[in-house]
Amino acid sequence: MKNLGTTAVYQVYVRSFRDSGGDGFGDLPGVIEKLDYIASLGVDYVWLTPFLKSPQKDNGYDIADYRAIEPVFGTMEDFERLVAEAEKRGLKIMMDMVINHTSTAHEWFQKALAGDEKYLNYYIFRKGKNGQPPTNWNSKFGGSAWEYVPGLDLFYLHLYAREQADLNWDNPAVRKELQDVVNFWIGKGAGGFRFDVINVISKPAVFEDAPGGDGRHLYTDGPNVHAYIRELNENSFGRHPEMLTVAELSSTNIGNCIQYTRPENHEFNTAFQFYHLRIDYTNDRKWEPGTPDTDKLRNTLNEWQTGMQRGGGNMSLFWSNHDQPRIVSRLGDEGPLWKESAKMLATLMYFLNGVPFIYQGEEIGAMNGGFKSIGQYRDVETINHFDILKNEGKTEEEILGIFRQKSRDNGRLPMRWDGSDLGGFTRGTPWIGLGQGTKANVRDEEQDVDSILVYYKRLLGMRKTYPVLSSGTFEPIAIAEKNVYAYRRCLGANTAWIFCNLSRDSLVLDIPGAGMELKGFRAVFGNYADPAVPGQAGLSLKPYEAVVYGNF
Ligand code: TEU
């Protein structure tokens, strides 16, 4: 059985990783080319974002055929070669299972549109209310969550884009189809799965309006969600204990997250929640300019760490993915303290209790794109919000400012493998610009012993070497200083203290008793060559300093 604490995952956004063919899109052969690099990081699994047949309305999260590969990304032979080549390097390939919804181009949906009763029942079709949609719910990407089909005089539900129709999980035939899909990929050699928005699959028995059109409390962690997941587990990946499964949970809570991940429940191994990334939302709204609140960050992480530990659940540790702007732009420094801040953020997150997921580019300190015009964006959510925000009265300049901070495209820019203009990503025209952020690239960082990349490798190595850092208990350390996050991990006689300064200023930490307690400990890891030492006044932390004290 795998040890979750020492497991680490690397996330590849296939279309932006490495283009082997020159058409401007990353592809599976490109991932194969870079497997040595991925293995060099010290990870065990590689999660690939969707590469299945899809009209790409939401970059592959709209699947039209669960058993075919989108030609732009490669062929089935490429996938099989990828699995085999990964295995040679001790890596397993995780697939992204997008099974809350299908593309409207999927054969099932097309048959439903043609009036086939069997397939109408694969989706959520409802009569309207006096010519209006069945409920007032908003889609996550803007506009109504219901789309009218004149030929049927029915509306179908789509929590995401109009081209992503929600499946009817209450129909046993649908659940069986999806089990078969998961088993198909297990048969092809997948070593694990990430399940897209899997906590919204169970819809309420009765559809009703929600205040402000926000129906999340009605369909999140819905009535049968745990039963459906256990059934899926039992009939597919649960038969393969070496597989790693991670649930992507939208707007969940700690109680449910424990249920999804405690081993006794036979659901998933670990899960993504997003509360620690909502710290720069203004009035709970993403599409507003926002300043990160470090108190909120600390409280959220402490609450989740202690809650999951108490309930015997497991949480994934991550700062970024393809839906998030870059963390160094968000919480760190894009200027002279770029390196220090990126390393501090890594230290803060990846010594917590859970499974680290490193998203491509984070390990070299990639930044947001700094796009100046709407024409540079490609993401459906961003593009839809241009008009929505305009209708709310925002100026174009304000909107572009918000996009530079919040758009998902910031995290989707091509990987920079070298210092050339196109970063060694492609020989052709990249599907999206490389952005104006840092020219940080893999080749340079591999040669610099002090780079962010080398620091990430050392950090993941520490987790594997010292059990206290992978499976020790988590204890928050209360500190009055707003911009410091500190915690302890303990296992048997071993303790690690992790101190992180989230600000660009030096500060002295008054940690009651810690001066004494830290006796016999030494700085075992950190982002400065001359790490903070506890003195009379406390612990002096340099700008964005991170230091780990340990008795091992
Ligand atoms: O994202 C799910 C999700 O929760 C989104 O609402 C996310 O919070 C949003 O993108 C942030 O603005 C998953 C995928 O990761 C995403 O790329 C897909 O677009 C989405 O599901 C639909 O499949």
Please give the distance, rounded to the nearest whole angstrom, from the Cα atom of residue 48 to the centre of ligand 1: 15
What is the set of active-site residues? 196, 248
In this prediction, residue 538 has a pLDDT band, given cuts at 50, 70 and 90, of confident
196 lines ligand 1 (CB under 6 A): yes
Q: Can you give the residue ranges of every domain in the chain?
A: 4-100+171-368+412-459, 107-165, 469-550
Q: Which residue has the higher pLDDT, 216 or 516?
A: 216
Round to the nearest angstrom and report the end-to-end CA distance of the chain: 26
Tens digit of each residue's pLDDT (9 = 90 or more) over 461-494: 999 999 999 999 999 998 888 899 999 999 999 9
Return the CATH superfamily for domain 469-550.
Answer: Golgi alpha-mannosidase II (2.60.40.1180)
For residue 249, report the distance from its CA to the centre of ligand 1, in Å. 10
Relative to the CA of 100, which ligand 1 atom is closest?
A: 23
* Residues in Cβ contact with 263 at an 8 Å cutoff, skipping those fewer than 6 apart: 312
Give 496 Cα–ligand 1 centroid separation in angstroms. Answer: 35
pLDDT value for 330: 97
Site to substitute for ligand 1 among 94, 106, 196, most atoms within 8 A of C-beta: 196
Lowest mean pLDDT among 188-197, 299-308, 526-535: 526-535
Q: Is the CB of 197 under 6 A from ligand 1?
A: yes
Interhelix angle 225-235/254-261, rounded to 10 degrees, is 20
* Residue 378 Cα to ligand 1 middle (Å): 15
pLDDT at 515 over 80: no
- Smallest CA-to-CA distance from 177 within 119, 226, 91 is with 119
**For ligand 1, is residue 87 a contact (CB within 6 Å)?**
no
Local confidence band at 437 (pLDDT 50, 70, 90 cut-offs): confident
CATH architecture of the domain covering 4-100+171-368+412-459: Alpha-Beta Barrel (3.20)
Q: Please tell me the distance between residue 323's alpha carbon and the centre of ligand 1 in angstroms.
A: 6
| Residue nearest ligand 1's atom 7 by CA | 323
Q: How confident is the model at residue 30 (pLDDT cuts 50, 70, 90)?
A: very high
520 or 83, greater pLDDT: 83
Distance (angstroms) between ligand 1 centre and the Cα of 525 equals 35
Ligand 1 lined by 159 (C-beta under 6 Å): no
For ligand 1, the distance from its centroid to the CA atom of residue 225, given in whole angstroms, is: 18
Residue 296: predicted pLDDT? 95
Enumerate residues 6+ apart whose C-beta is below 8 A from 151. 113, 115
Residue type, position 125, single letter: F
Is 185 close to ligand 1, i.e. is its CB under 6 Å away?
no
Which of 352-361, 427-436, 477-486, 496-505 shows the lowest per-residue confidence on average (mean pLDDT)? Answer: 477-486
In this structure, the residue with its CA closest to atom 6 of ligand 1 is 140
Fold (CATH) for 107-165: Oligo-1,6-glucosidase; domain 2 (3.90.400)
pLDDT at 518: 81
Are 70 and 56 in contact by the 8 Å Cβ rule? The answer is yes
- Ligand 1: atom nearest CA of 380 is 19
Cα-to-centroid distance, 153 and ligand 1 (Å): 29
| 381 pocket-lining for ligand 1 (C-beta < 6 Å) | yes
Q: Whose CA is nearest to atom 14 of ligand 1?
A: 196
Asked if residue 163 has its Cβ within 6 Å of ligand 1, the reply is: no
Q: Name the residue of 99, 197, 248 whose CB sits within 8 Å of the most ligand 1 atoms, as the mutation to test its pocket.
A: 197
Share of the chain above pLDDT 70, in %: 99
* Mean pLDDT on 137-145: 94
Q: Which residues contact 335 (CB under 8 A, 6 or more apart)?
A: none
Taking 70 as the threshold, does the pLDDT of residue 161 lie above it?
yes
Whether the CB of 140 sits within 6 Å of ligand 1: yes
Confidence label for 511 from pLDDT (cuts 50, 70 and 90): confident
Whether the model clears a pTM of 0.90, i.e. scores above it, the answer is yes
Residue 512: which pLDDT band, with cuts at 50, 70 and 90? low
Is any atom of ligand 1 closer than 6 Å to the C-beta of 160? yes
The pLDDT, as a whole number, for residue 286 is 94
Separation CA 59–CA 378 (nearest Å): 9
Q: Which two tokens stand for residue 205?
A: 């028995």
Asked whether the ipTM of the predicted complex exceeds the cut of 0.85, the reply is yes
Mean predicted confidence (pLDDT) in 361-367: 98
**Residue 426 above 90 pLDDT?**
yes
Inter-residue long-range contacts of 223-229, CB under 8 Å, 24+ positions, other chains counted: 224/169, 224/170, 225/198, 225/199, 225/201, 225/256, 226/259, 226/260, 226/265, 226/267, 228/169, 228/175, 228/201, 228/202, 229/198, 229/260, 229/267, 229/268
318 lines ligand 1 (CB under 6 A): no
C-alpha–C-alpha distance, residues 118 and 177, integer Å: 13
pLDDT at 490: 97
502 contacts 527 by C-beta, under 8 angstroms = no
> Would you place residue 70 in the very low, low, confident or very high pLDDT band (cuts 50, 70, 90)?
very high
Indicate whether 439 pLDDT > 90: no
- pLDDT of 2 reads 76
**Looking at ligand 1, which residue's alpha carbon is closest to its atom 15?**
323
From the CB of 371, is ligand 1 less than 6 Å away? no
How confident is residue 183, by pLDDT bands cut at 50, 70 and 90?
very high
Which atom belonging to ligand 1 lies closest to the Cα atom of 324? 11
Maximum Cα interatomic distance, the chain, rounded to a whole number of Å: 78
The alpha carbon of 505 and the centre of ligand 1 are apart by a number of angstroms equal to: 35
pLDDT at 213: 96
Average pLDDT over residues 236-253: 97
CB of residue 120 inside a 6 A radius of ligand 1: no
Question: What residue owns the CA closest to ligand 1's atom 2?
Answer: 197
Q: Is the CB of 278 under 6 A from ligand 1?
A: no
Quote the pLDDT of residue 6.
95
Averaged confidence pLDDT in the chain = 96
